[in-house]
């Protein structure tokens, strides 16, 4: 159950930081980026360009896509020279 009007904080505020984590925007996608580790040169352009910080990194290397937040905009695939990221239709 969502809060009723009596339970909400005063003045239409959000009373904590970092709440965008709670807003999973992955279901906006119509196309999903698919990552191929073998083609990746770790140039990190996808990491820099991703507007949703949805490129997953481990030890300085790209390891995949965070599908909870990726909206499927395709910027990562567009910017990727070695075509290590390709857009595939969501089913």
Partner 1 sequence: MPTKALTGNEAMAEAMRQINPDVVAAYPITPATEVVQLFANFVADGVVDTEFVAVESEHSAMSACVGAAAAGGRVMTSTSSQGLALMHEVLYIAAALRLPIVTCEVNRSLSAPINIHCDHSDTMGSRESGWMHIFAEESQEAYDSIIQAIKIAERLYLPMMVSTDGFILSHCMQRIDMLNDKQVQDFIGEYKPHHSLLLTDKPYTVGPLDLQDYFFEHKRQEIDIMMNAAPVIEEVGREFGEKFGRHYGLFEGYKLDDAENVIIAAGSTAGTAKVAIDEAREKGMKVGLLRIRVMRPLPYKEIARTLNGKKVISILDRSDSMSTMGGPIFVEMRSALYDVESRPLMCDYIYGLGGREIDVEDIVKVCERGETYKAKGKVDQPIGFIELRE
Shortest separation between residue 6's beta carbon and partner 1, angstroms: 8
Residue pair 56/62 in contact by the 8 Å Cβ criterion: yes
Distance CA 56, CA 19 (A): 19
22 sits near partner 1 (criterion: CB under 8 A): no
Q: CB within 8 A of 12, min separation 6: which ones?
A: none
Contact pattern from residue 1 through residue 20 relative to partner 1, giving x for each residue in contact according to CB under 8 A and a dash for the rest: -xxxxx-x-xxxxxxxx-x-
Shortest separation between residue 11's beta carbon and partner 1, angstroms: 4
Shortest separation between residue 85's beta carbon and partner 1, angstroms: 30
């Amino acid at each position: 159950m969502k809060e009723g009007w009596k339970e909400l904080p005063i003045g239409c505020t959000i009373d904590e930081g970092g709440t965008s984590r709670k807003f999973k925007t992955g279901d906006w996608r119509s196309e999903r980026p698919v990552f191929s580790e073998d083609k990746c040169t770790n140039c990190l352009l996808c990491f820099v360009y991703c507007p949703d910080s949805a490129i997953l990194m481990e030890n300085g290397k790209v390891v995949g896509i965070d599908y909870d937040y990726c909206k499927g905009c395709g910027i990562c695939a567009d910017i990727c020279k070695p075509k290590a990221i390709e857009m595939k239709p969501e089913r």
